[in-house]
Amino acid sequence: MKKNGGKAIYKVTDVTSHEQMEELAAYTIEELGKIDVLVNNAGIMPQAFLFKKKVDEWDKMIDVNIKGVLYAISAVLPSMREQKSGHIINLSSVAGHNIYPGGTVYCGTKHAVTAISEGLRQEEALNGTNIRVTNVSPGAVSSELLETTTDSESKAGLDKFYKTAIDAESIARTIAFAIEQPSDVAINEMIIRPTVQVG
């Protein structure tokens, strides 16, 4: 799609497939010439107490929330290192800083994203690649994420908590702000909550 001098393309991709993520990066370079920014936003949030043993949901969260992030980074990093520029933005969560009952595995995956972001930042700073890394940690945001919880007890609590959710555009503006900084400025960590959110 072309509009106002810009070009938008897409390729349906499964973030849990390393091969498909590599194909997406190659397709982007082929169509647009290079990759300037990666926004790692894929995620799911099925929540339940550990004793309920929702092992399939644990596996899916690990595959999407952790491995998906790593696969996307690995797909874009070689070209960004070659061009000596780029910006990798990982969407963690307030749950990547706090832990709460029922969200144990989800919190674990988002703590992992926070750690991956910081590790990547340090590695690329050490190697002088001029690649910026930003970890964005949203609180309650209106999105389809809430619908990935199947446990009725946890879902009821989340529905109540998310009544004060902010809109997704608030996160988009935050991401745009980080991208718009001069190339020698890296905003590494941003936490964005509804004003009334406590935890």
pLDDT by position in tens, the chain (length 199): 677 778 889 999 999 999 999 999 999 999 999 999 999 999 999 999 999 999 999 999 999 999 999 999 999 999 999 999 999 999 999 999 999 999 999 999 999 999 999 999 999 999 999 999 999 999 999 988 888 999 889 989 888 888 999 999 999 999 999 999 999 999 999 999 999 998 8
Please list the active-site residues.
106
pLDDT at 124: 98
pLDDT at 1: 63
103 and 57 in contact (C-beta within 8 Å)?
no
Domains and CATH numbers, the chain: 36-192 (3.40.50.720)
Q: Could you report the per-residue pLDDT of 97-134, keeping only the tens digit for each?
A: 999 999 999 999 999 999 999 999 999 999 999 999 99
| Residue 40 parent element (H or E) | strand 37-40
- Give the end-to-end CA distance of the chain in Å, rounded to a whole number: 41
